[in-house]
Protein backbone atom coordinates (compact mmCIF):
# COMPACT_ATOMS: atom_id res chain seq x y z
CA UNK A 1 0.00 0.00 0.00
CA UNK A 2 1.89 2.99 -1.27
CA UNK A 3 1.84 6.10 0.87
CA UNK A 4 0.82 9.54 -0.26
CA UNK A 5 2.62 10.26 -3.50
CA UNK A 6 3.47 13.75 -4.60
CA UNK A 7 5.08 14.70 -7.84
CA UNK A 8 7.20 16.21 -8.94
CA UNK A 9 9.50 16.34 -5.91
CA UNK A 10 11.23 19.43 -7.26
CA UNK A 11 9.82 21.94 -9.71
CA UNK A 12 11.52 24.99 -11.15
CA UNK A 13 9.42 27.59 -12.92
CA UNK A 14 10.17 31.01 -14.36
CA UNK A 15 8.07 33.94 -13.22
CA UNK A 16 4.79 34.00 -15.11
CA UNK A 17 4.68 30.28 -15.84
CA UNK A 18 2.19 27.81 -14.42
CA UNK A 19 2.99 25.23 -11.78
CA UNK A 20 1.00 22.01 -11.39
CA UNK A 21 1.54 19.94 -8.29
CA UNK A 22 0.05 16.47 -8.02
CA UNK A 23 -0.96 14.46 -5.00
CA UNK A 24 -2.16 10.86 -5.07
CA UNK A 25 -3.68 10.03 -1.69
CA UNK A 26 -3.30 6.70 0.02
CA UNK A 27 -5.56 3.97 -1.31
CA UNK A 28 -9.03 4.31 0.16
CA UNK A 29 -8.51 7.89 1.33
CA UNK A 30 -11.02 10.40 0.07
CA UNK A 31 -9.89 13.46 2.07
CA UNK A 32 -6.98 15.54 0.86
CA UNK A 33 -5.38 18.58 2.44
CA UNK A 34 -2.78 20.90 0.95
CA UNK A 35 -0.28 22.79 3.07
CA UNK A 36 2.46 25.25 2.19
CA UNK A 37 5.71 25.67 4.06
CA UNK A 38 7.47 28.92 3.36
CA UNK A 39 11.20 29.16 4.17
CA UNK A 40 11.77 29.32 7.92
CA UNK A 41 8.05 28.95 8.64
CA UNK A 42 5.74 26.15 9.69
CA UNK A 43 3.01 24.43 7.73
CA UNK A 44 0.17 26.69 6.66
CA UNK A 45 -3.19 25.26 5.64
CA UNK A 46 -4.32 26.02 2.11
CA UNK A 47 -7.26 23.86 1.09
CA UNK A 48 -9.26 20.78 2.07
CA UNK A 49 -10.92 18.65 -0.58
CA UNK A 50 -13.00 15.55 -0.79
CA UNK A 51 -13.62 13.73 -4.04
CA UNK A 52 -14.94 16.29 -6.56
CA UNK A 53 -15.59 18.87 -3.84
CA UNK A 54 -13.69 21.72 -2.28
CA UNK A 55 -14.69 21.74 1.36
CA UNK A 56 -12.60 24.62 2.65
CA UNK A 57 -10.27 26.84 0.65
CA UNK A 58 -9.95 29.56 3.24
CA UNK A 59 -6.15 29.28 3.35
CA UNK A 60 -5.62 29.53 -0.37
CA UNK A 61 -4.92 32.88 -2.05
CA UNK A 62 -7.93 33.87 -4.12
CA UNK A 63 -5.88 34.85 -7.14
CA UNK A 64 -3.77 32.49 -9.24
CA UNK A 65 -4.25 29.42 -6.99
CA UNK A 66 -6.75 26.65 -7.58
CA UNK A 67 -7.17 23.06 -6.46
CA UNK A 68 -9.17 20.09 -7.58
CA UNK A 69 -9.66 16.47 -6.61
CA UNK A 70 -11.46 14.74 -9.48
CA UNK A 71 -13.37 11.49 -9.26
CA UNK A 72 -10.51 9.74 -10.98
CA UNK A 73 -6.88 10.70 -10.65
CA UNK A 74 -4.78 12.73 -8.28
CA UNK A 75 -5.52 15.98 -6.57
CA UNK A 76 -3.95 18.92 -8.39
CA UNK A 77 -2.79 22.21 -6.93
CA UNK A 78 -2.40 24.72 -9.73
CA UNK A 79 -0.56 28.02 -9.47
CA UNK A 80 -0.88 30.32 -12.44
CA UNK A 81 1.58 33.10 -13.30
CA UNK A 82 3.96 32.14 -10.54
CA UNK A 83 5.92 34.80 -8.68
CA UNK A 84 9.07 34.49 -6.55
CA UNK A 85 6.99 34.55 -3.37
CA UNK A 86 5.36 31.27 -4.41
CA UNK A 87 8.67 29.48 -3.85
CA UNK A 88 7.96 27.05 -1.02
CA UNK A 89 7.48 23.40 -0.18
CA UNK A 90 3.93 22.23 -0.81
CA UNK A 91 2.73 19.21 1.14
CA UNK A 92 -0.42 17.23 0.77
CA UNK A 93 -1.91 14.91 3.34
CA UNK A 94 -4.71 12.40 3.07
CA UNK A 95 -6.96 10.68 5.55
CA UNK A 96 -9.64 8.04 5.38
CA UNK A 97 -12.18 10.14 7.22
CA UNK A 98 -12.19 13.75 8.20
CA UNK A 99 -9.23 14.70 10.25
CA UNK A 100 -10.57 14.99 13.76
CA UNK A 101 -10.20 11.39 14.73
CA UNK A 102 -8.06 9.86 12.02
CA UNK A 103 -4.41 10.51 11.57
CA UNK A 104 -3.33 12.00 8.32
CA UNK A 105 -0.52 10.75 6.15
CA UNK A 106 1.72 13.22 4.42
CA UNK A 107 3.48 13.09 1.11
CA UNK A 108 7.11 14.08 0.82
CA UNK A 109 6.27 17.43 -0.66
CA UNK A 110 6.97 19.31 -3.84
CA UNK A 111 9.62 21.99 -3.62
CA UNK A 112 8.73 24.78 -5.98
CA UNK A 113 11.41 27.26 -6.95
CA UNK A 114 10.46 30.30 -9.00
CA UNK A 115 13.37 31.90 -10.80
CA UNK B 1 -7.35 34.01 14.18
CA UNK B 2 -6.54 30.51 15.30
CA UNK B 3 -3.06 30.51 16.87
CA UNK B 4 -1.23 27.38 17.78
CA UNK B 5 1.93 28.15 19.71
CA UNK B 6 4.76 25.73 20.34
CA UNK B 7 7.62 26.22 22.73
CA UNK B 8 10.50 26.18 22.79
CA UNK B 9 11.31 26.82 19.14
CA UNK B 10 14.41 24.68 19.41
CA UNK B 11 16.00 22.46 21.98
CA UNK B 12 19.41 20.83 22.28
CA UNK B 13 19.79 17.96 24.73
CA UNK B 14 22.34 15.27 25.47
CA UNK B 15 21.69 11.63 24.72
CA UNK B 16 19.91 10.07 27.69
CA UNK B 17 18.27 13.31 28.86
CA UNK B 18 14.52 13.43 29.18
CA UNK B 19 12.78 16.42 27.69
CA UNK B 20 9.38 17.93 27.09
CA UNK B 21 7.81 20.67 25.04
CA UNK B 22 4.51 22.46 24.86
CA UNK B 23 1.72 23.09 22.40
CA UNK B 24 -0.78 25.84 23.30
CA UNK B 25 -4.07 26.31 21.50
CA UNK B 26 -7.37 28.13 21.96
CA UNK B 27 -9.46 26.17 24.46
CA UNK B 28 -12.87 27.05 23.00
CA UNK B 29 -14.55 24.66 20.56
CA UNK B 30 -11.79 22.11 20.89
CA UNK B 31 -12.12 19.04 18.69
CA UNK B 32 -8.79 17.28 18.28
CA UNK B 33 -5.06 17.69 18.70
CA UNK B 34 -2.44 15.84 16.70
CA UNK B 35 1.28 15.47 17.25
CA UNK B 36 3.59 14.84 14.29
CA UNK B 37 7.27 14.06 14.03
CA UNK B 38 9.04 15.58 11.04
CA UNK B 39 12.53 14.51 10.14
CA UNK B 40 14.54 16.56 7.70
CA UNK B 41 13.91 15.58 4.06
CA UNK B 42 10.99 13.36 5.03
CA UNK B 43 7.27 13.95 5.41
CA UNK B 44 5.56 14.54 8.77
CA UNK B 45 4.63 11.32 10.49
CA UNK B 46 1.70 11.06 12.90
CA UNK B 47 2.55 10.31 16.53
CA UNK B 48 -0.69 10.83 18.43
CA UNK B 49 -4.30 11.84 17.89
CA UNK B 50 -5.88 13.21 21.07
CA UNK B 51 -9.49 14.16 21.49
CA UNK B 52 -10.43 14.00 25.19
CA UNK B 53 -9.46 16.25 28.06
CA UNK B 54 -7.02 14.36 30.26
CA UNK B 55 -5.97 12.06 27.41
CA UNK B 56 -2.57 10.53 27.87
CA UNK B 57 -0.97 8.60 25.02
CA UNK B 58 2.29 6.71 24.86
CA UNK B 59 4.42 5.23 22.09
CA UNK B 60 7.69 3.76 23.32
CA UNK B 61 9.70 6.52 25.01
CA UNK B 62 7.38 9.26 23.76
CA UNK B 63 4.20 10.26 25.53
CA UNK B 64 1.74 13.15 25.37
CA UNK B 65 -0.88 14.68 27.64
CA UNK B 66 -3.81 16.91 26.82
CA UNK B 67 -5.59 19.63 28.77
CA UNK B 68 -8.42 21.03 26.68
CA UNK B 69 -9.79 23.31 29.42
CA UNK B 70 -6.60 25.34 29.65
CA UNK B 71 -5.55 24.75 26.06
CA UNK B 72 -2.25 22.93 26.15
CA UNK B 73 -0.61 19.62 25.38
CA UNK B 74 2.80 18.37 26.47
CA UNK B 75 5.01 15.98 24.57
CA UNK B 76 7.57 14.07 26.64
CA UNK B 77 10.57 12.12 25.45
CA UNK B 78 12.25 9.89 28.00
CA UNK B 79 15.93 9.06 27.57
CA UNK B 80 16.41 10.97 24.31
CA UNK B 81 18.38 9.29 21.55
CA UNK B 82 20.08 10.90 18.53
CA UNK B 83 17.42 9.34 16.29
CA UNK B 84 14.80 11.40 18.13
CA UNK B 85 16.26 14.50 16.49
CA UNK B 86 13.43 16.00 14.44
CA UNK B 87 10.89 18.78 14.42
CA UNK B 88 7.82 17.98 16.50
CA UNK B 89 4.64 19.59 15.24
CA UNK B 90 1.29 19.88 16.91
CA UNK B 91 -1.89 20.52 14.96
CA UNK B 92 -5.22 21.62 16.34
CA UNK B 93 -8.76 21.36 15.04
CA UNK B 94 -11.75 23.35 16.25
CA UNK B 95 -15.20 21.83 16.10
CA UNK B 96 -16.45 24.37 13.60
CA UNK B 97 -13.45 24.36 11.28
CA UNK B 98 -12.55 21.94 8.58
CA UNK B 99 -8.82 22.26 8.72
CA UNK B 100 -6.01 21.36 11.07
CA UNK B 101 -3.88 24.35 12.09
CA UNK B 102 -0.24 23.59 12.68
CA UNK B 103 2.18 25.17 15.10
CA UNK B 104 5.63 26.17 13.88
CA UNK B 105 7.16 23.17 15.63
CA UNK B 106 9.86 22.48 18.19
CA UNK B 107 13.15 21.47 16.63
CA UNK B 108 14.88 18.89 18.84
CA UNK B 109 18.55 18.02 18.48
CA UNK B 110 19.91 15.17 20.57
CA UNK B 111 23.70 15.12 20.83
CA UNK B 112 25.44 11.77 21.32
Kindly report, residue by residue over B48-94, the tens digit of the pLDDT. Answer: 999 899 999 999 999 999 999 999 999 999 999 999 999 999 988 87
Tell me A63's DSSP state: S
Bridge-based pairing of strands A10-13 and A110-114 is parallel
Q: pLDDT tens, position by position, for chain A (115 residues)?
A: 568 999 999 999 999 999 999 999 998 888 899 999 887 677 888 998 988 899 888 889 999 999 999 988 999 999 999 999 999 999 999 887 765 566 788 999 999 999 9
- Answer yes or no: are the C-beta atoms of A92 and A23 closer than 8 Å: yes
Give the minimum alpha-carbon distance from B5 to chain A in angstroms, rounded to a whole number. Answer: 11
**Which of A68, A63, A74, A80 is CA-nearest to residue A17?**
A80
- Cα gap A108→B43, rounded to integer Å: 5
Give the minimum alpha-carbon distance from B31 to chain A in angstroms, rounded to a whole number. Answer: 7
Give which of A5, A34, A38, A43 to mutate to test B binding, by max B Cβ within 10 Å.
Answer: A43
Tell me which chain A residues have a C-beta less than 8 angstroms from the C-beta of B105. 42
Which of B42, B98, B104 has the CB atom closest to A55's CB atom?
B98
SS3 B23: strand
The DSSP bridge partners found for residue A23 are A6, A75
Asked if the Cβ–Cβ distance from A104 to B34 is below 8 Å, we say yes
- Cα gap A112→A14, rounded to integer Å: 11
- Cα gap B8→B3, rounded to integer Å: 15
- Cα gap A74→A25, rounded to integer Å: 7
Which of B32, B101, B104 has the CB atom closest to A101's CB atom?
B32
Tell me A18's DSSP state: -
Question: What was the pLDDT predicted at B2?
Answer: 57
Give the minimum alpha-carbon distance from A75 to chain B in angstroms, rounded to a whole number. Answer: 17
Tell me which chain B residues have a C-beta less than 8 angstroms from the C-beta of A55. 98
**Which of B65, B85, B83 is CA-nearest to residue B73?**
B65
B82 — phi, psi (to 5°)? -55, -35
Tell me A37's DSSP state: E
- Answer yes or no: are the C-beta atoms of B18 and B76 closer than 8 Å: yes
SS3 A33: strand
Amino acid sequence: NAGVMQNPRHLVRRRGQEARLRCSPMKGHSHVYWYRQLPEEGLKFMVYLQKENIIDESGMPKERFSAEFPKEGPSILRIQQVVRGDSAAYFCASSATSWESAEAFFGQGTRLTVV
Amino acid sequence: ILNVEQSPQSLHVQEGDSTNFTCSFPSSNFYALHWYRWETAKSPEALFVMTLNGDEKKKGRISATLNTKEGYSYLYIKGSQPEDSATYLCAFKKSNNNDMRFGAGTRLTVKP
